[in-house]
Amino acid sequence: MNRRTRIKICGLRTETDVDAAVWAGADAVGFVFYAPSVRAVTLDQARRWAERLPPFVTPVGLFVNANPAEIEAALRAVPQLLLQFHGDEAPADCERWGRPYLRALAVQAGTRLVDWEDRFPRAQALLVDAPVEGYGGGGKVFDWSLLAPNATRPVVLSGGLNAANVGDGIRRVRPWAVVVSSGVESSRGVKDPDLIHAFCAAVRAADAAL
């Protein structure tokens, strides 16, 4: 049984963001490599910030229908990068790198996690999020009751989480990890160290209560 919910703070855009996530106790930090996003960063930024990470804090790269050259460049810049796919990538697109990866999916009525596990057998985990127009997260909570207990691999819970609701999400879904981005921002794309700390503290409190 998972007795400690892992935490990923996503969409970090400054050195201060990265330091705040680390000091708050995050297990992973997310860098967005999708140019249309307000949270997008350059490879040089991600490289410099990843070099600041202490042992056992994982950098994660979020990609949306990226071409192979873009992913190759990211892996050169950040060799320890965990890949996270948020677009229309087929299994071959995700698995060609021979690297651990997360596969994101939008959960709605009729979604069967086992079908996604069958399609992406090498995914380290499925990242479940709310349906949005376009790609990436929309900062919205989806109906967690749609997540029937039919997954055999770890589930990463995302979508509209914040310090006020993450405890309920952990209690109801029992995910391996939780992901937050807009829920720790003071304004769109601007992370708030106090909100990051409050989110991590809420996760720890939820774990302690289980």
Is-catalytic flag, 94? Answer: no
Q: State the pTM of this model.
A: 0.94
Identify the active-site residue in 17, 27, 93, 129. Answer: 129
Structure confidence by residue, pLDDT tens digits, 11-30: 999 999 999 999 999 999 99
Across the chain, what does the average pLDDT equal? Answer: 93
What pLDDT shows up at residue 132?
A: 72
Structure confidence by residue, pLDDT tens digits, 166-182: 999 999 999 999 999 99
CB-based contacts of 134, cutoff 8 Å, min separation 6 = none
Q: How far is CA 89 from CA 24, 77, 103, in A?
A: 33, 22, 9
With CA atoms as reference, report the closest residue to 191 among 92, 49, 89: 49
Task: Using the predicted structure, report yes or no on whether residue 79 has a pLDDT greater than 60.
Answer: yes
Which CATH architecture fits 6-209? Answer: Alpha-Beta Barrel (3.20)
Structure-derived torsion over alpha carbons of residues 48, 33, 176, 207, reported in degrees to the nearest 10: 60
Task: Using the predicted structure, report yes or no on whether residue 38 has a pLDDT greater than 80.
Answer: yes
Q: How far apart are CA 42 and CA 13, in angstroms?
A: 9
Is-catalytic flag, 129? Answer: yes
With CA atoms as reference, report the closest residue to 178 among 210, 152, 153, 154: 154
Classify residue 40 as exposed, middle or buried by CB count within 10 Å of its CB (0-12, 13-18, 19+): middle
Q: Let me know how many helices (H) and strands (E) the chain has, helices first.
A: 7, 10
What pLDDT shows up at residue 150?
A: 67
Identify the active-site residue in 10, 17, 93, 94. Answer: 10
Q: Is 159 helix (H, G, I), strand (E, B) or coil?
A: coil
Q: 113 versus 153: which is more confidently predicted?
A: 113
Classify residue 129 as exposed, middle or buried by CB count within 10 Å of its CB (0-12, 13-18, 19+): buried
Average pLDDT for 79-94:
96
